Amino acid sequence: MQARVAYFSMEMALAVGMKTYSGGLGVLAGDTVRGFADYELSGIGVTLLHRRGYFRQSIDENGWQQEQPDDWEPAKYAEKLPETVAITIEGRTVTIAVWRRSVEGLNGHAVPVYMLDTRLDANSEYDRTLTDYLYGGDRYYRLCQEMVLGIGGVKILRALGYTDISRFHMNEGHSAFLTLELLDEAAENAGRKQFSREDVEAIRQKCVFTTHTPVAAGHDRFPLDMAMRALQRKELRDMQDVFCCDNELNMTYLALNLSDRVNGVAKRHGEISREMFPNYEIDSITNGVHVATWTAEPFAKLFDKHVPEWRKDNFSLRYALRIPCDAVREAHQQSKQALMDYVNKTAKADFDVDTFTLGFARRATPYKRADLLMRDVQRLNALAERHGPMQIIYAGKAHPNDQQGKEYIQRVIQSAKKLSDQIQLVYLPDYAWELGGLITSGVDVWLNTPLPPNEASGTSGMKAALNGVPSLSVLDGWWLEGCIENETGWAIGRRYDQIENPDVPAEQDADSLYEKLDEVVLPLYYENYDGFLDVMINAIALNGSFFTAQRMLLEYMSMVYFR
């Protein structure tokens, strides 16, 4: 069956030099489209061009984040097409142009990704900026962007001749306005001026939704008056139950109400979502990463030799158990050396390949608790004294408006001054795709310390596993599924869903983290490296083989797209 899936996402990581993403959501979207291409699905990606990117991060001498625009040249990466469409925002006509980039799969199958662009002479000065900044501007700017993505996206697909789309997949609620355009189409086809409840039923059969946010405050909402002004659709008020709640237009509810299938991004996130939205049927499909993209060169070579079919059949990575330990050790040392070279060059540090190295890189925002490891620096110093030296690598951007996130970065950097000479710490600026690949493959242990249940899934620990890097992580998101203690890595604290008071103080998690390092991880690394290698190999065989975009897409195909 040649069913066509249109995959809409506000951000999408398509190439290292394309600044069309900010973090996890965009990387997942890119990995999904790369998976479409490998499977030769007749999928299509839709996103915005984001000419000025998210932002470039530098860190000043006080440890404070500085932001610069991250311009890039679309013409180097994509082709501008002649088609344009127009949408109406608050009575203004906004013309939208489109760029195409093809994403190629293993056998050369190309999946087109369409990127919308309002920087046109026909538009007002303001409307020209609508596709400039990812997650920039105020609420109104964001509302306009989401109209361009959802409404403009569907119109562009039609203008390009796609009339056979069987599933519209909303990756997070940002693109949920696509449902309004589909409703308008349905009404028009029936010769009516306004859409009806029957149209809602019909459109629902075509739409599927993946939610990514496990806390209510994180859902995208607009004041109803603002949304009514911009959208000018009377039906929004007439069908309040479908579109509104509490004087707000909530993009998550819009997507929930107009989707046939709804999924969270890990099993635990599915449970949390069902608690948050008890009136909806919500399932889950656990995220995965695109294996060929996130496997570092030394491991790619190793797998080519010992598991030659690994790119085509990611499950075969379970045969990592057959690879000689020495070869795995050698591949890891090479990946680690590449990271050490980068650190020593850019941070003027003196890191070496034989010292135990911890990595922590993710969006700097309070719930990720970047400072957990640094809560008790004396204790950390004592660990190094007892077991051997340590190297710690941090990276991650805070959203420009996230003052607290910036304070976390500063706190980590300043607490490093109290470290003994047995521990070196660097905070690498401007975390993005390439650095993500270097860090997830080049450290010895991947650290993750979110405050449950905020980590919907998390994907960097999956990238690490592919490269034989075990995780040491709080049991939240994907790690509840991926952690087999002492086999694929180690847990910090207890299972969130098995403790009575979920508000575990950070002290307790920090305590558990130091204890694991002291009693298990550091002794294994420094006194029994063969034992450590076993964990590395299991991480590949059990988790690298499973938490893949390929497995994720198999589930989407059988349970969501083609059912």
Residue ranges in contact with ligand PLP by CB under 6 A? 23-24, 27, 362, 431-433, 436, 458-460, 463
Q: Find the helix or strand (DSSP H, E) in which 9 lies.
A: strand 4-9
Partner residues linked to 87 by β-bridges: 94
Q: How far is the CB of 225 from ligand PLP (least distance, A)?
A: 35
User: Of 20 and 179, which has the nearer Cβ to ligand PLP?
Assistant: 20
Angle at 87 between CA 211 and CA 201, to 5 degrees: 50
* CB-side neighbour CA atoms (13 Å) of 197: 5
Residue 112: which of 184, 240, 14 has the closest Cα?
14
Which helix (H) or strand (E) segment is 188 a member of? Answer: helix 178-189
End-to-end CA distance of the chain: 11
Distance CA 311, CA 255 (A): 34
Decide if 134 contacts 50 (C-beta within 8 A): yes
Taking the C-alpha atoms of residue 357 and residue 344, their distance in angstroms, rounded to an integer, is 14
What is the maximal distance between C-alpha atoms in the chain?
78
Read off the DSSP letter of residue 560.
Answer: I
**Residue written as token pair 């938490």:** 547
Identify the residue whose tokens are 């950390």. 380
Closest to ligand PLP by CB, 150 or 489: 489
Considering beta carbons, is residue 23 or 150 the nearer one to ligand PLP? 23
* Rounded Cα–Cα distance for residues 362 and 370 (Å): 9
Nearer to ligand PLP, 303 or 433 (CB): 433
3-state secondary structure of 66: strand
Comparing CB distances to ligand PLP, the nearer of 361 and 510 is 361
Please state, in angstroms and as integers, the Cα–Cα distance from residue 396 to each residue in 11, 59, 436, 466, following that order: 17, 11, 10, 21
The span from the CA of 207 to the CA of 185, in Å, is: 14
- The nearest distance, CB 123 to ligand PLP, in angstroms, is 31
Minimum distance, C-beta of residue 426 to ligand PLP, in the bound complex (Å): 17
Q: Are 390 and 355 in contact (CB under 8 A)?
A: yes
- The encoded tokens of residue 392 equal 């710690």
Residues found in the chain? 563
Of residues 282, 255, 266, the one with CA closest to residue 169: 255
Please state whether the peptide bond connecting residue 453 to the residue before it is cis, i.e. omega within 30 degrees of 0. Answer: yes
State the nearest-atom distance from the C-beta of 505 to ligand PLP, in Å: 23
Residue facing ligand PLP at closest CB distance: 436
DSSP string, 350-402: ---TTSEEEEEES---GGG-TTGGGTTHHHHHHHHHHH--EEEEEE-PPPTT-
Closest separation in Å from C-beta 135 to ligand PLP: 13
Q: Which is nearer to ligand PLP, 229 or 363 (CB)?
A: 363
Report CA-CA distances (Å) from 100 to 77, 148, 168, 562. 9, 16, 18, 26
Least distance in angstroms from the C-beta of 40 to ligand PLP:
25
Cβ(478)–Cβ(457) under 8 Å?
yes
For ligand PLP, which is the closer residue by CB, 219 or 362?
362
454 vs 38: CA distance, rounded Å: 31
